[in-house]
C-alpha cells in the first residue's frame, strides 16, 4: 500500500508540474516572438550587388553606390543610432550616396541633429543626393537640413555627375502621394543613350518611368531605386500585415524587371511606430556599377 501511495503521489506531482509548465510555455512563446521581431528590426544587413547597365560610361565602370532608404527617425535615440550607423558605413568608401526618403517622423526635428551631423561628415566623391518620401511633409526644411550636410534634394530634378570626362545622371522624383511627378517631361530631357539612375521613394513610380519616353523615343532610365514598402514589415505565409495598394504590394522588396529596366526596392532601415519586423529585414545596399 505504501508503495502504491508513493507512486500515486509522484504521478500527481508530475501532473501538477505539467500544469505549471503549460501557461509558462504559452507566455514564453509570444515573448520569444516579440524578441525575434525586435531583433529583426534592429540588425542591419549590408547587401552588395553588381548592376550591369548598357549605357554606363566607361569612366563609371566599378563606381560604388550606397543606397539607404526609410530612416524614420523618431527622437534623439533613433538619431544617434542612425549617426553611428552612417559613421560605420563611411568606412565602405562609396563613390556616391543616394538617400530614398522618409527621414524624420514626428514634430521633433532636433532629434535628428546627430544624424545630419554624421551625414555632413560622410564622404562620397561623386556626390550625395536624396529624394523626399510621404513622411517628409516639410520639404523646405528638409532641403535646408540636407543642404547643410552637403546633400542635394532632388524634387523632379536631375543632377549630372562627372568622372573622367563622362557623365552619369541622377534623376530624383517627387513622391507619388503628391501626384505631381512630370514623367513625360523628365523623359524628354534625355536621349536614349544617356545613363540615368532614377531615385524614387515609392516603387509605384516604376510604371510612370517605364511609360515615359526619351527624346527621340525609347527608354530614358537605366535603373530605378526605391524603398517605402519596408519589405511588408510583418509578413506571415507570404502575406503582409501592412495595407498597401496593389501596385505597391506586388513589389515589396528586391529586384524587379520589366523589359530592360531593372528596379531595386530596398526594405529600408527603420520602421515607423513599433520597431518590429517579421519576414523582412533592415538593410542598406552597396551597388557596384558595371558596363554590360
**pLDDT tens per residue across all 292 residues of the chain:** 555 555 555 555 555 555 555 566 566 666 665 666 556 567 899 999 999 999 999 999 999 999 999 999 988 888 999 999 999 999 999 999 999 999 988 655 567 899 999 999 999 999 999 999 998 888 888 999 999 999 999 999 999 999 999 999 999 999 988 888 999 999 999 988 999 999 999 999 999 999 999 998 888 999 999 999 988 877 777 677 777 777 777 888 999 988 889 999 999 998 887 788 887 899 999 999 999 8
> Which runs of E-coded beta strand occur in 102-238?
128-130, 152-153, 157-163, 166-172, 196-199, 223-226, 235-236
Cell reading at 115:
544624424
How many Cα atoms are found within 13 Å in the side-chain-facing hemisphere of 28? Answer: 6
Burial (CB < 10 A; 0-12, 13-18, 19+), residue 91, is exposed
Bridge partners (DSSP) listed for residue 214: none
Q: How many helices (H) and strands (E) does the chain have?
A: 7, 14
What's the confidence (pLDDT) of residue 37?
Answer: 58
CB 158 within 8 A of CB 171: yes
What's the confidence (pLDDT) of residue 258?
Answer: 84
* Cα–Cα distance, 186 to 202 (Å, whole number): 17
What's the confidence (pLDDT) of residue 252?
Answer: 86
State the alpha helices, DSSP H only, in the chain.
Answer: 2-42, 76-89, 113-121, 139-148, 183-188, 205-211, 246-249
Cell reading at 235:
509578413
What's the confidence (pLDDT) of residue 245?
Answer: 76
Amino acid at each position: 500500500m505504501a508503495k502504491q501511495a508513493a507512486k500515486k503521489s509522484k504521478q500527481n506531482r508530475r501532473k501538477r508540474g505539467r500544469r505549471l509548465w503549460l501557461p509558462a510555455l504559452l507566455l514564453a512563446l509570444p515573448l520569444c516572438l516579440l524578441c525575434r521581431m525586435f531583433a529583426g528590426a534592429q540588425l542591419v544587413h549590408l547587401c552588395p550587388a553588381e548592376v550591369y547597365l548598357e549605357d554606363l560610361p566607361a569612366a563609371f565602370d566599378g563606381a560604388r553606390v550606397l543606397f539607404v532608404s526609410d530612416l524614420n527617425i523618431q527622437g534623439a535615440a533613433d538619431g544617434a543610432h542612425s549617426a553611428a550607423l552612417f559613421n560605420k558605413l563611411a568606412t565602405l568608401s562609396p563613390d556616391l550616396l543616394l538617400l530614398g526618403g522618409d527621414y524624420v517622423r514626428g514634430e521633433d526635428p532636433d532629434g535628428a541633429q546627430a544624424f545630419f551631423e554624421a551625414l555632413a561628415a560622410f564622404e562620397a566623391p561623386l556626390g550625395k543626393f536624396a529624394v523626399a518620401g510621404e513622411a517628409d511633409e516639410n520639404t523646405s526644411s528638409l532641403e535646408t537640413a540636407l543642404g547643410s550636410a552637403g546633400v542635394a534634394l532632388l524634387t523632379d530634378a536631375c543632377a549630372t555627375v562627372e568622372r573622367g570626362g563622362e557623365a552619369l545622371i541622377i534623376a530624383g522624383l517627387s513622391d507619388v502621394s503628391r501626384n505631381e511627378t512630370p514623367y513625360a517631361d523628365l523623359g524628354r530631357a534625355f536621349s536614349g543613350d544617356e545613363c540615368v539612375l532614377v531615385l524614387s521613394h515609392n516603387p509605384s513610380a516604376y510604371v510612370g518611368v517605364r511609360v515615359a519616353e526619351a527624346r527621340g523615343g525609347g527608354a530614358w532610365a537605366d535603373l530605378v531605386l526605391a524603398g517605402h514598402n519596408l519589405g511588408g514589415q510583418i509578413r506571415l505565409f507570404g502575406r503582409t500585415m501592412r495595407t498597401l495598394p496593389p501596385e505597391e504590394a506586388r513589389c515589396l522588396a528586391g529586384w524587379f524587371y520589366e523589359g530592360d529596366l531593372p528596379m531595386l526596392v530596398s526594405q529600408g532601415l527603420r520602421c515607423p511606430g513599433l520597431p518590429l519586423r517579421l519576414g523582412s529585414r533592415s538593410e542598406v545596399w552597396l551597388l557596384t556599377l558595371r558596363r554590360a
